[in-house]
Amino acid sequence: MPADTTPAHHTEDGRFTNPWPTWQERSLLEVLKWRWNAPKRPALGWLMSNPSVTSEDLKQAFPVRPVDTQSFAQPTAPGVRAAWIGHATCLLQMAGVTFLTDPVFSDRASPFQRLGPRRVVEPAIRPSDPGFPKIDFVLISHNHYDHLDTASVKELHSRFGHDLAWYVPLKLGAWFTNLGITNVTEMDWWQEVQHSNSQVSVIMTPAQHWSSRSLTDRRHTLWGGYCVKGPQQRVWFAGDTGYCPAFQEIGQRLAPIDLAMIPIGAYEPAWFLRPQHCDPAEAVKIHQEVGAKRSFAIHHATFSLTDEALDEPRELLRKHAAEAHLSPEEFQALQHGACLHIGT
């Protein structure tokens, strides 16, 4: 790998930062400005063709396919298997291990299950469902409530116990310890860890984002994505990120990537959200810069978090992917529950 060229992301006060000129910190005043000027829309969001959307409209727009659990029944089968569960939650299997990214199965992305953003689309599968495979490890990108959900973490730990490993960003380990979970590895950008008794290693990669679960802990824990590298294939989970120079370096270090999971939603209004979330055009650039052979979209059509229509990201992804001369399969927006198999 090339020498480390990522600028320092640790600060003198023990917190973390984004070390690129593409980052801009947002203040509480700017948050209030956004929310004050946000267009009126239903709590569950809206569709490009329907500003007065109902739950039934959303079910038709975003059908859920049952996850093909049989395809995950043989962990040692060759190739990579992946299923999009919803938002940033993905189920993957390769080189004898099965793992999850940012598992969120709760109804709301919130510290409270009666308040906060409510799911538009149900999870394609839950840990309590028949056929849910044994999970070897979980990747956590950061501590925002739509990526780190207490109830989901507890459910997975209850089912799989201390055999289930958790890879988390720096300084997030204490959060898990407080839940009685000890099989936790904290990671820094570009750190690589060999997963126990396996042929795969986990590499944490940079992302342009931030962390917080309260009004007083902004950027106290790190954030990032992950590459899982096996003997023959490697997959990359971008986490939650705005567009920044890090992706060229990720490509230089880790390409080719057989399968990437890249966020495409939660980008409007751009004046406020561009530093922390990428739009579909930027997602296509990320796909190209990291050297992904194939990608599928995450972080869209599951929670209504921002102002764009819920079906706009996938439509814009098709447009910008075609303009970049990508085939429809090269970077696609899957239906919830859909599975991909990348061969040997």
Tell me the angle at which helices 280-289 and 312-323 cross, rounded to the nearest 10 degrees.
50
3-state secondary structure of 245: coil
**With b meaning 16 or more CB within 10 Å and e meaning fewer, what string describes 79-111?**
bbbbbbbbbbbbbbbbbbbbbbbbbbbbebbbe
Helix and strand counts by DSSP (H, E) for the chain: 8, 14
186: enclosing H helix or E strand: strand 184-187
- Give the neighbor-by-neighbor strand order of the sheet with 225-229: 192-194, 201-205, 225-229, 234-237, 259-263, 295-298, 331-332
Contact 272, 279 (CB under 8 A): no
C-beta of residue 336 within 8 angstroms of C-beta of residue 64:
yes
Distance CA 209, CA 207 (A): 6
Task: Please report, in range form, the residues annotated as the binding site.
Answer: 145, 277
